[in-house]
Amino acid sequence: MQPRVSSIEDGKDSTARCQSRIFPFNLLKFFAIFLVLGLGFSILSMYMTRYFTVQNVVPVTRTGFQLCLHEPNNIDRWIKPPSSLMHSMNDEELFWRASLVPHVKKYPFRRVPKVAFMFLTRGPLPLYPIWEKFLDGHEGLYSIYVHSLPSYRPTFSPTSKFYQRQIPSQVTEWGRMSMCDAERRLLANALLDISNEWFVLLSESCIPFYNFSIIYNYLRRSRQSFVGAFDDPGPHGRGRYNANMAPEVNITQWRKGAQWFAVNRKLGVNIVEDTKYYPKFKEFCRPACYVDEHYFPTMVSIESPHLIANRSITWVDWSRGGAHPATFGKADITEAFFTKVLEGGHTCLYNNQPSSLCFLFGRKFAPSALEPLLQFAPKFLGFG
């Protein structure tokens, strides 16, 4: 009987030794599976994080609003102006973006209102040195925007206030809807800066008539925007009206005015967001109906008559006759000229009170006028 007992005990020992060898192998196998699963989960998590965080937080680049991952997600992101004026938005996208307005009227930050000077030009700005003098020392109170032909390449130096202030532009034609498109494009780009409160449309032939402080305070304290709009019963007014404009615009609502406006933020948004009158003017106001003289004056007179002072603050001289105002060259810029223009007995209403300060800007000044303008600016314009 003894050998049998020994065999059983030997079997037990053999089984124990086999189990002792299997246990480390199973443990190693378990850890290997755990490692593979952990590595796979980590890779999957990284992919999911990248996909759902980056692709959903960073908008499509064609809208021009790609956000940097390191950009803080706080109020600064909304109150800082775009770092570059160049973007890939089309007009539809741009106007939609510019029409977004806060409904809480109290700003949750210290907002310093700025004036946006918007230059509508074909190419160069020959009078820009006079504007540089005008703006000197007032950084943080103004912005500059330039709409020129897409083919034009400016040569402003990096130290110029006009350096890289061009916006994405399109070809414009005088008297056609593309001119109003360019004006709305300027306005919409300027609206992207939440600190811009006033928006002044200017041409390459415009100059300021007063120093920056006078003009800034005049605009800031005004309770109304400055859009000229009047009812002209003659052939160049009501004579341009097309009955197809009804019912959106009746002939009694048809207005005419200069295109050079100065509007506050509220009216600027109203102009940019318009889809009611735009199609009618685009289709039924073509030369000899010059849409840039009628679209904005008519639209704001119908929708927001209480928001406009019903006059322009840009002076022009029509006394020489013809289809266009007088152009002033080097020989015209004299002391007598400034005395006549600035002390000419102008009267107007400012905040419903009589005022002799009616025109803040003037046009049309030729490139040859720059030298005498710079010479007389300190004495008559108050800067330079």
The count of domains in the chain is: 1
DSSP codes, 187-237: HHHHHTSTTEEEEEEEETT-EESS-HHHHHHHHHH-SSBB---B---STTT
Its domain, for residue 121, covers 76-312
Q: Are 146 and 168 in contact (CB under 8 A)?
A: no
The length of the chain, given as a count of residues: 384
Q: Is the peptide bond before 364 cis (omega within 30 degrees of 0)?
A: yes
Per-residue pLDDT for 193 more than 90? Answer: yes
155 within domain boundaries: yes
271 within domain boundaries: yes
Going by the DSSP 8-state scheme, the letter that residue 74 receives in this structure is S
294 within domain boundaries: yes
- List the end-to-end C-alpha distance of the chain, in Å, as a whole number: 126
Per-residue pLDDT for 236 more than 50? Answer: yes
71 within domain boundaries: no
303 within domain boundaries: yes
What are the DSSP E strand ranges found in the chain? 114-120, 142-147, 196-203, 207-208, 262-264, 314-315, 348-350, 353-355, 361-362
**CATH number for the domain that contains residue 133:** 3.90.550
344 within domain boundaries: no
334 within domain boundaries: no
Residue 227, both tokens: 């859009």
332 within domain boundaries: no
pLDDT at 60: 41
Going by the DSSP 8-state scheme, the letter that residue 56 receives in this structure is H
Q: Using one digit for the tens of pLDDT, what is the confidence trace for 254-289?
A: 999 999 999 999 999 999 999 999 999 999 999 999
- Give the pLDDT band (50/70/90) at residue 293: very high
Per-residue pLDDT for 127 more than 80? Answer: yes
Q: Using one digit for the tens of pLDDT, what is the confidence trace for 318-352?
A: 888 777 899 999 999 999 999 999 987 889 999 99
